[in-house]
Structure 1
């Protein structure tokens, strides 16, 4: 009887262990993926900017991608292709690459295309931060005072990835911080949604079909994401915000040396252009 009881206890323990290690149980325990799956689109948020501190908050967005982490990583790090599928960018180019760090030129239209902001930033190779992979971008030169970007990727399982983007831009002109933060949140949403759409389009049909419905994006999510990604340029600001920063180079630079200086004269010139 004692032996039978011991065998039953062992069998029960193994069953519990198998259940706890199953993909379904692992996903069920992942509250973040559950929340994003039920939302079916990007979750927007803001963070206080630190290192150094700034009045403008960092804008962020998180989304669940039905694709493996390596697929998502490949798309995130294809910096030169951003202009082809991420709405906020109308120019993107890798200038140099050394020891895994990419020097990237990025340009974004503002005021309905009346002017542009641009930056040359160093994008770091993916690094581990707990369960996340982090790719960070730091401003080197441009017509903004500062630019920071941080991609975060986390594998939920072999078929699902949580993707986040956190953006900070400090214009050289005194735009209200709340207006800038609002645009950063919208840009982060468009970016993660665009990456999600491209990554899922690259996954072969039926891949991950046996995963639990807990992390599946609801049926209306694709349409919602497409609408968000194609919403177009952000509306122009009002009042003092109807001013432009330094215009981006008319011809895409071949190197950092070819980029124009962001001086006060060019800022004034572009303000006159924006008024016309």
Structure 2
């Protein structure tokens, strides 16, 4: 259990999932978390659970030790300018989950030498299975350990170099959609070969989950596991080769590269 008060600035899907994850893991009670949103009424259900809610970002930050920035990139400059009067540089730690924005950008926007840690979770944070990448350009080791422990409660976290954070956005955050699309495609294939749609989706999703767990739990390589289910002249290798002929792997690779390029251009020029 931590003693710090947390303010989530911009409580959308990711910010709310983080808050709920921290409470569920007994890291902190709801009363230590303030959620902000321009439409405060959208947070009324969270107030009933004990969270503080407000549309006033400044008051939320004044009371916070850890400030989680969870707004859209195009909203960030205005929000940072708004928060300047609320800063306590010696006390506060900023955690940014804003795509394409560097630690330096945050400090410049706040016009203050605050400690900043970037985090890139994905929407699986809502069920405690996020893959979160973390990076900083100067936060203390203690603060890095603290933020790592927070995100470890809602999945798995990995510290990377800051220059790779945009790539992490494409592979992990956008990647949720890519893998969901592949599961959807598999379920459609299942329907075409005879299964009812709901059965095909359940079978495809569980098969994908099993494949991922093989790699994570056995620390195995995909090709090593693929070799276990491919036999000479068999049906698996026939299906794999047909998928590759139609560009399965190359399409996935190209999609990830395209998303990374787009993610790097989301943050507008500074005001």
TM-score (norm 1): 0.22
Structure having the higher strand fraction is 1
**TM-score (ref. length: structure 2):** 0.23
Task: Determine which structure has greater relative contact order: mean sequence separation of CA pairs < 8 Å that are 6+ residues apart, divided by chain length.
Answer: 1
> Which structure: greater helix fraction?
2
Greater C-alpha radius of gyration: 1
